[in-house]
A and B are shown apart, each in its own frame.
Chain A
Amino acid sequence: MNAPVNTAKPRGAEAEYFAALAAGRLMIQRCCDCGHAIFHARPFCPQCDSLSLSWEQASGLGTVHTLTTVRIKHDRPYNISLIELDEGVRMMGRVEGIAPDAVKIGMRVQASIIDQGGKPLVVFTLTEAA
């Protein structure tokens, strides 16, 4: 009897998300049945249980919902925020480009994708209007 074929081809939603991210696109899912915006990527809608989900590219625009300053290394504190994307999902990420203590709830931010240790990572900077 042959062993199951291991195709090594990404198939899960999370793998799809990271493949898109590596290609420079921040993607979220939307439920085709109830319209719920979904992040992190998952196999079914957490709101209505539907297996029918579509992908869409996020605008990357969002608002700081809440935040903290991490002081593991005292000389290099950094921000971690929960960002509410305009599409209606929340994701965690660093707000960069300003002192961590200067980040405030309600600030408008824009996502960008950087390379950190060979992996794509979403970080945020203040929008021009801010």
Chain B
Amino acid sequence: MTDAELRGAVAIVGVGTAGCGDATGFSEMEILAMAARTAVHDAGLKMSDIDGLATANISAAMWPLNVVEYLNIRPTYIDGTNIGGTSFIGHMLAPTEN
């Protein structure tokens, strides 16, 4: 896929961060959940609207399932590909090929 074809192929419609800086005493899941919650609200959606999930972490073998349970969502699309720090670029690339 060329750069031109990639342009506009996917859209980030909400963003959220949490725990940037000092997050002492919070688990990675708590930080993820708060960031996800912020992003969902930023997009003008509810958590129950979410039907897809892309996430990567090395702390659990089946991390996406933990996230699904934690956020109480029922995604029909899950991407748990972990290719290190570029995982999240890969996660955004995958939907362009569907």
Contact = CB atoms under 8 A, between A and B. Distances in A.
B33 A7 contact: no
A10 interface: yes
Interface residues of B, number: 16
A105 interface: no
Interface stretch (A11-19, A22-30, A56-64, A66-74): A11-19
Contacts of A40: 70
Contact of B70 (A7, A10, A42, A49): A42
A49 B25 contact: no
Contacts of B22: 4-7
Given A46-B70, A47-B72, A13 B30 contact: yes
A6 B21 CA distance: 10
A44 interface: yes
A40 B27 CA distance: 12
A9 interface: yes
Given A4-B21, A6-B22, A46 B72 contact: yes
A42 B28 CA distance: 11
Interface residues of A, number: 19
Given A4-B22, A43-B34, A44-B33, A49 B47 contact: yes
B2 interface: no
A111 B26 CA distance: 26
A10 B26 CA distance: 7
Nearest to B20: A4
Contacts of A1: none
Given A42-B70, A46-B71, A49-B47, A11 B33 contact: no
Nearest to B27: A14
Contacts of A46: 47, 70-72
B29 interface: yes
Given A7-B24, A10-B25, A43 B30 contact: yes
A115 B47 CA distance: 37
Interface of A: 4-15, 40, 42-44, 46-47, 49
